[in-house]
Amino acid sequence: MEQQPAISDYGFLSDSRSGALVGKDGSIDWWCPHRFDGASVFGRLLDPHAGHFRLAPVGVGGQGHRVERAYQPDTLVLRTVHHTPQGSVAVTDALAAEFGARAHELGINSPAVLIRVVEGLSGRVRMALDFAPRPEYGLLTPYLHEQPDGAIAAAAGPVTLLLRSAELPLRAGRDRVTHEFEVSAGQVIGVDVAYAATYGAPPVRLDPVAALADTVLAWEAYREPHQYPGRYPAQVRHSATVLTGLTYARSGAITAALTTSLPERIGGDRNYDYRFSWLRDFSMTMRALWVAACPHEASRLFAWVSRSIGRIGDEPVPVLFGLEGERDLTEHDCAQLRGYAGSGPVRIGNDAWQQRQLDVPGEVLSAVWRLRDYLGGTFDGELREMVLGLTEQVATTWHLPDQGMWEARGPEKHYLSSKVLCWLTMDRAVRLADRLGERADPDRWARIRDEIRDEVLRRGWNERMGSFTGAFGSAELDASALFLPVVHFLPASDPRMRSTIKVVERELGTDDGLVRRWSTDPAGFVLCSFWLVECLVLAGERRRAKELFERVIGQANDVGLFSEQIDLTTGVQLGNTPQALSHIGLINAAWRLTEPYSF
């Protein structure tokens, strides 16, 4: 059986409408061209028969073959150099920006075109092209039709793809296009794949070499005004670029990850669809965008959240939404896909939207507080109604159990992090009361805030363990306790927090700087590792925080990408990738090391 590429072998391409993953072997194994959460046309990532598009030297990965990869600075345009015994060749991959797109236009009207440009560097290298699209997560095998201009049209169900190269004489096979050719030093060959809905406008036709150059200019122009003044500027700018790549430009929503169902543990079943936008991540995301000097993106994200939540009733606000604000994200298994490395099931949709998550309002109000000066001295009607509605919802429900930050699918509990975010809701509402009109009730809100705080300090602390734990009355240590100083519930210098940080680092930490979420978690959770960095800074241990930060960023793959988790034994990346929260954690930790008490 063909060996599955490691998750860290993949580079990330984006046009801020959709994204693709390209492996070191030159195979594009994931692309959902309609939008991030649409159906794949290349899905080999999750099943060897679900489609791919390989463009690489013949015998890629064999003896004498070496790969070097790097992004063009401040872009998600990826250049892969293959060194072979016969010579060297570069393949540069990108998802095309709209022609002439500049500044904040990136991704608004993306043409949905995948560009691959081959450049001979030395010698004479034989290349192999293998184009095998399988739309609808591998359910469809398209008909292939040769066009008068030499292009190949692949049509199946709702999808039409156009494979084109002016330099290569492509021929359609029964269910794929295969072609071998040689490239010499100085020779440039362009290939592109354009997507369109079958019953809409035809796929865009373009010159891939010219479009690639224009896409680089679009990314550079987009990133140029985003100046970050802090420490680790290269890593922060790159993580900000990744967040831009995960942003669905039409709405401003940030998708949690590009992929679905990459496992937390090989062979495990905690495989979930992360191609949606989580309100729980909202405040951390807003902070990261402001730190990385992306105010336009921050304001668009805030507008998307406000619109998505809508008028608040008795039902809990969902923890996640679709990229255009959809609520019903009902989950189902994709039975035809075997899963990454056989780790099924593959899930489409995410039933966490139906869970009770009491921490969501705290994330939203924390972001409102952060943007208060931008939002004005008196809030407009919709913003005022949202803040009042969220506050009153927490005031009447904070005492209930929920599913917790990690979205447990078992019984509801009184999770520590959820109660702390309920406290944050009431605290921020009190501080914002003068902007909320006559229905504001800061005295009552303050009493509820203080009651929640007393409950957390009394029931969340485990004297025997010398630590806050994951849930009231629990003896299960949980790294989410590191969130308390980050949201200013307790200072890191408080004896209880100092003890908690020490216990978490000792019991859940590793020599590589990684932190597990709980004791039975088989992998380090990248975000928790960056939380520990922040806690150490806030506790006055800056040198240790810096050392830890540098160990963690050293766990990124060769092009600076993080998935959700990292295996403690092998060091390989696990979980959906690239993971927005991991890169958000990096940005916020780098800023904490720059200005310890800015937030």
CATH of the domain at 126: 2.70.98
Domain count of the chain? 1
pLDDT at 374: 81
Length, in residues, of the chain: 599
d(CA 195, CA 111): 8
pLDDT at 596: 52
d(CA 240, CA 138): 32
pLDDT at 518: 96
pLDDT at 329: 98
pLDDT at 225: 78
pLDDT at 313: 85
Whether 598 is covered by a domain: the verdict is no
d(CA 439, CA 148): 69
Whether 211 is covered by a domain: the verdict is yes
Tokens of 152: 């190949």
Domain that holds residue 78: 7-223
Whether 16 is covered by a domain: the verdict is yes
Is there a contact between 37 and 31 (Cβ–Cβ < 8 Å)?
no
Whether 596 is covered by a domain: the verdict is no
The 8-class DSSP code of residue 345 comes to P
Q: How far is CA 562 from CA 290, 294, 445, in A?
A: 21, 21, 40
Whether 170 is covered by a domain: the verdict is yes
Task: State phi, psi for 80 to the nearest 5 degrees.
Answer: -110, 120
pLDDT < 70 stretches in the chain: 1-2, 102-105, 107, 596-599
Whether 315 is covered by a domain: the verdict is no
pLDDT at 297: 84
pLDDT at 105: 61
Question: Which residue has tokens 């670029």?
Answer: 241
Whether 134 is covered by a domain: the verdict is yes
Q: Give 3: exposed, middle or buried? Use CB within 10 Å, 0-12, 13-18, 19+.
A: exposed
pLDDT at 380: 84
d(CA 595, CA 449): 28
Cα dihedral 541, 289, 322, 249, rounded to 10, equals: -150
d(CA 491, CA 495): 9
pLDDT at 292: 85
Whether 574 is covered by a domain: the verdict is no
pLDDT at 102: 67
